[in-house]
Amino acid sequence: MEGGPFGRPVRRPWPIITGYPVTRLTGGYRSGPTDGTARTDRFNAAGPFPAVSAQSPAATGPFPADAGPFPAAPGQFPADAGPFPPYPEVMTTSPDAHRLSDALDGRRIVLAVDRRTEELAAALERHGAEVSVAAALTNIPHVDDEALLSRTRELIADPPELLVITTGIGMRGWFEAATASGIAEQLREALSGATILARGPKGRGAIQQAGLTAHWVAESETAAEVADHLRTMDVAGRRVAVQHHGSGADGLDELLDEMGAEVASLTVYRWGPPRDPEAVRRSVHDAATGRIDAVVSTAAPGAARWLEVAREEGVLDGIRERAQAGDLVLAVVGPVNAGPYEDQDIPVLQPERMRLGSMVKAIVQHYGQQPRS
C-alpha cells in the first residue's frame, strides 16, 4: 500500500478480475499477419495450436474461479526444459522480410502484453529479434456487459456536463458496445454537449474518432495531471462521467465525490486471467536465468501481475539482480507502466515519448550500442 496521486492509498499489485469469459489457448497464440505477407508460425514439439474461430464452442467459456491462473505448484519448473522456452512465438513475416537492421540479432524478447502483439513483434523482428508472447493478464472487453449498457442508457437519458476519458481503448470499446446495442448515435448526441477531458493523445484520438471534441488533454498522460486540472474546475452539483482503465484504481471518482460532483463511473474493459499460464511461468524463470534478454510491458496491471508470478515462483530476486546488472532489459512504455518495477527496485528502459514506436526505438538503440559478444 502506498500513497496515490491524490494522497490516497493505492494498493499494488492491481486487482485481477476473474470469472469472465476468455479465449482459452493452451498450445500457442495465433493471430493473423499485419501486412499481408506470408506468415510463419513456429511452435514447440507439441505442435501448432489450431486456429480458434468465433464459432468454436470450445474456444471460449468462463474461466473457473477456483482453478487459479497458475495451477502448478511453485518450484516445479523443469530445469532441463531446453535452450529456449516453448511458449508461443509470434512470427508476422518471414525472418528476412523488411529487415531494417541487425541490432537485435540473437536477442530473445518476451512480450508480456495482451494487445498489439503482432505490431510489436513485427517491429522488433525487423531488427533481428526472436519474439515470444507471455501476457500475464488478458484484456477483456465488455461489449455485452449489461452493467455498462445500463449505465450508458442512463447517461443518454441524463447526459453528463463533464466527461473524463482515461484511455483510448476504453473510449473506442464504449462506442463499440453502444454500436452493437444500436444506441451509438444516441450516446454521441448525449455527450456532444459535455466538456470532455482526455488523459493523453490516445484518448483524444478516440474522442475524435467518435465524432466528438476533446476540450483539454493531459500532456503527461497521467491521472495525477487530470486530477490537478479537475481541482481548478467547479464541479459541485455537476454530473460527471468517468471512463476508467481496466484496473479502475485511479482515484478520480473519489476526488470528484469529495468535490461534490455527481459521478457516473464506467469501466469498459477489465483484466482477466492469462491465455497461457504456463508461458507466463516459463517467462519469469527464463528472465531470471538468462534465457531471454528483454521483457516488454505496456500496462501497469500486466507488469504487476508478471512480477507477482515471479515472486510466486521464487525468481523475483534473480530478475532484479539481472536487471540491476544490465543483463536483462525491462522495457516499458511510460512512467505509470514503470511503477510496478520501480516498486521492486527493478530498473526499466523507458522512452522519452510514451509510444510503442518510441519504446521499440529505445530497445533497438540500447542493444545497437552494445558490443557484440
Confidence grade of residue 47 (pLDDT, cut at 50, 70, 90): very low
Confidence grade of residue 79 (pLDDT, cut at 50, 70, 90): very low
Residues in the chain: 373
Q: What is the arithmetic mean of pLDDT over 38-66?
A: 31
Reference 250, options 203, 211, 296, 205; nearest CA is 203
Q: What are the percentages of helix, strand and coil residues in the chain, rounded to 5?
A: 35, 15, 55
Cell match 467547479: residue?
234
Confidence grade of residue 214 (pLDDT, cut at 50, 70, 90): very high
Strand partners, 141: 269
Model confidence at 4: pLDDT above 70: no
